[in-house]
Each structure stands twice: as C-alpha cells, then as structure tokens.
Copies of this chain bind each other. A is one copy, B any other.
Amino acid sequence: MSTRSAEPIDPVALEVVELIGDVVARYHEEYDEAASRHSLTGAQARVLGLLSLEPMPMRRIARRLKCEPSNVTGIVDRLEARGLVERRPDPSDRRVKLAAVTDRGKDTARLLRDSLDFAREPLAGLTVAERALLRDLLRRMLGEETP
C-alpha cells in the first residue's frame, strides 16, 4: 500500500498536504459548529445525515462510521431519546434493526445541511470553471477514475 518513495519529496506536494490539513480543520470546525447549533454532537449529526438518505441497519452505520457496532448502539440511543430517529424491525430478518429518521429527524437533518456553510462560503471566490478544475483534480487525487 505505502509507496516507499526514494524520490525527493516535491515541495509543492508538501504545501498541498499542509493546505489539505487546513481544509480538514476548517471542515470539522464548521461541521461541529453546525451540529452544536442543533444541540447535536458531530457523530450524532453524521448518523442523522446518513439516515436521512435511507433507513439502515445498525451494522451498516458502523461500517460507514468505521467503528464498532456496539458504539452505534449508544449514538442511536441518544438520537432516539430525542425523537429524531427510531428503530424498526426488518421484515426480512428479525435479527436486524433498521434505524430510520422520524419526521422531526428529517427536518433537523435538512436544517443541518442548510446551515453547513462550507458548501457555499469557501467556494464563493472561485469561478465556475475553476470549481470544475478543482473537482477534477480532487477526483484524480482521490484515485477515482472518470470513465
């Protein structure tokens, strides 16, 4: 997996990595702030956002969050205690519990998305063409093929 680079490290690459660090910091800052504006923690907001797309078994949430399933139990517990999420039985498998947003949860998730300024603010300084360029570069950096 890890490329043992014998090549001298490109100073521009280092700058890019530094900038990505800044992007990550900024992303979290804004995300957590948006979450706490709705009295949610980052993890809770993340799960709520996931479930607002489609109901999902606990197991799958854990995979998305890259954490243990036992952890998800607690997070969903807290969301459920606040009426944002509910557990439903899965008709096709009585072992699994589907976590699904309630109506209130759906509203909250929408508000959360809207209050996430990261989508608009930092990109405002770029032209449409530059955004497209940025998109393509990020795609290739992430190794996603553009078929």
Q: Report how far A129 CA is from B124 CA in the complex, Å.
A: 24
Of the candidates A9, A15, A16, A27, the one having the most CB atoms from chain B within 10 angstroms of its own CB is A16
Q: How many residues of A contact B (CB 8 A)?
A: 48
The answer to the question of A53 belonging to the interface, with a C-beta cut-off of 8 Å to chain B, is no
Q: Are A135 and B12 in contact (CB under 8 A)?
A: yes
The answer to the question of A92 belonging to the interface, with a C-beta cut-off of 8 Å to chain B, is no
The answer to the question of A43 belonging to the interface, with a C-beta cut-off of 8 Å to chain B, is no
Quick one: which of A102-129 are within 8 Å of B by CB? 115, 117-126, 128
Whether A118 contacts B29 in the complex (CB less than 8 A), given A23-B142, A125-B140, A133-B133, comes out as: no
Q: Are A23 and B24 in contact (CB under 8 A)?
A: yes
